[in-house]
Structure 1
Amino acid sequence: MSTPADAGRPVWEVAAPPGGWGPPWPQVVEIVRLIPHTYWTLVGGIMVQLHAVHAGMQITRPTRDVDMVLHIDTGATSFSEVREKLEQLGYALREPMGQGPVHRFVRGDSDEEQVDVMVANHLPPSLTQKALRRKVFEVPGGTSALRKTVNCHVVVGSETIVLSIPDALGALVLKGAAYLEDARDRQRHLDDAVVLTCTVSNPMADRDRMIGSDSKRIRALWNILNDRDHPSWIAVGERTALRGHNALRILAETK
């Protein structure tokens, strides 16, 4: 049953891939049982996995953490509320080095289980989230991505869970923003972007849905990935790469 917070969102039915979902999927299931999908949207590596499986592609993106963007702007929750619930599950908020923003929760003897809890960029000052006397990390492109979400009904083991994720365009906007903002791991962002472009079914319609800085972020990806010989395209196979390359080209064209 839909709720006012997610009424009207597209719904995807996603079966488990061959062999099932690997780690950190047990964490995802545990978290969404306590913190419903109306409170947060899943991003990061698991988001890319869901897009790939929904499009019939193989999972090639390993990840070790769960990445959450909270629905602060709707009033659904707050960082302090989600922090309290994660602490009930045994996670602890890690204070970062220096003056950086907070976002990482860890659990386990070696902190091997990680959850990154973030908020969208461009929140009004009245909704600024803080913890440990610091701001919470604001995701570049997050505001746009949260306006382009779908509900995924995901089969995990013997149960079906509901997750909110950005659709293909929203996910690509996040990856374009990450590519521009995060110089530490640009190749990973490009690899993810290639997988996501290969899942785009109607690039012309998606291009018409772009807002704000979306087009700049998409063009940043195209400026690198227009080369069909880029290693990121080779990884997905020739036929799939051709489809994704054409989709990204159309998305990057000026409206």
Structure 2
Amino acid sequence: MPDKSPPRQTVSVELPVGGWPSPWPQCLELAQAFDTSKWTLVGGLMVQLHAAIAKVPVTRPTTDVDLVLHVETGAVSGPEVSRTLSQLGYELQLPLRKSSPAHRFIRYQDGFKETIDVMVADHGISKPPLTIGGREPFQVSAGMQALKRTASCQIVDSKGAIITTLSIPSPLAALVLKGAAYREDTRDRERHLEDAALLSTILGDPLALVPELQGSDRSRIIGLNNQLSDLSHPAWAGFDEDRRRDGHYALDILSSNPQDFAFGEGLDTAF
């Protein structure tokens, strides 16, 4: 089957004076210590970064740094991850059940706990199999699709100098990740819907994205659309009417049968 992923793009966003709040300092510190070609940022910071790129105000809180390793490249190993994080003062927290996957590293700075969650993509294959602390790693649903559709995000200072470059899923891949998380993480479904609502508003022209849908992408977006089709849903509360309607339209288009559309030229995506 041909790869429908678009060419990798590069975007940039300016770090404000004084920086972004915690846990961004952790993330930027990690980017200096651990080659960013070996991992992609996901989770709450991914959502915050997409909002910053799109210049959308967001108050989405998060307390940890979530990343997915590029094990499919063969360029990263479990010992390398553990060693790098140990050098930064983090310790691996092994679950009590020996059959449970390992993913959480923590440290204490000035009395505050700081957390980095290290995961791998579902269907990501490494030889030999990657382990963390002798345990299997935590797998992220839709993670492999996300790693195939990433962008390079340059974090720049006020003069345009590059501070670091992070790998992030494209807006569409990020939305699909949230669709998978909504299905599987029943503990925090409302947060996943809030993130999905935000991401849906910054996709650009959704018709341009329909040809990029792969595998279970559409069914995962349908799950989100089933919940967010009502514009009075609390997840839309932080957006003005135009943004709500843009997001609603995007979810509706991406949930529809692609055979319903005739595709032309000149459609633009978010990046």
Normalised by the length of structure 2, the TM-score is 0.86
Is 1:62–2:65 an aligned residue pair? no
Structure 1 runs of 4+ with >4 Å offset:
156-159
Deviation, 1:218, is 0.8
For the 8 Å contact 1:150–1:167, the answer to whether it is kept is yes
Which amino acid is the alignment partner of residue 61 of structure 2? P
Residue of 177, 180, 185 corresponding to 2:183: 180
| Offset from partner CA, 1:180-211 (integer Å, 9 cap, x none) | 01100000000000110111012112121011
Instruction: Mark the CA change 1:69 to 1:37 in structure 2 (over 3 Å): closer, same or farther.
Output: same
Instruction: Mark the CA change 1:164 to 1:62 in structure 2 (over 3 Å): closer, same or farther.
Output: same
Aligned sequence identity (%): 46
For the 8 Å contact 2:68–2:119, the answer to whether it is kept is yes
Aligned to 2:80: 81
Aligned to 1:135: 136
Deviation, 1:159, is 5.7
Is 1:218–2:217 an aligned residue pair? no
Instruction: Mark the CA change 1:156 to 1:88 in structure 2 (over 3 Å): closer, same or farther.
Output: farther
Following the alignment from structure 2 to structure 1, what is the Cα–Cα distance between the partners of residues 256 and 17? Answer: 37
Normalised by the length of structure 1, the TM-score is 0.91
Aligned to 2:105: 105
Following the alignment from structure 1 to structure 2, what is the Cα–Cα distance between the partners of residues 77 and 239? Answer: 43
Aligned to 2:40: 41
Aligned to 1:241: 244
For the 8 Å contact 1:17–1:53, the answer to whether it is kept is no
| Offset from partner CA, 1:134-180 (integer Å, 9 cap, x none) | 21000000000001100000136886210000011100111000000
What secondary structure does 1:161 align onto? Answer: strand
Following the alignment from structure 1 to structure 2, what is the Cα–Cα distance between the partners of residues 21 and 107? Answer: 20
For the 8 Å contact 1:46–1:63, the answer to whether it is kept is yes
What secondary structure does 1:108 align onto? Answer: strand
Q: Which runs of 5+ in 1 are unaligned?
A: 1-7
What secondary structure does 2:239 align onto? Answer: coil
What secondary structure does 1:83 align onto? Answer: helix
Aligned to 1:93: 92
Q: Which runs of 5+ in 2 are unaligned?
A: 1-6, 259-271
Aligned length: 248
Which amino acid is the alignment partner of residue 173 of structure 1? V
Structure 1 stretch displaced more, 110-119 or 127-136:
127-136
Aligned to 1:3: none
> Rg: which structure is higher?
2
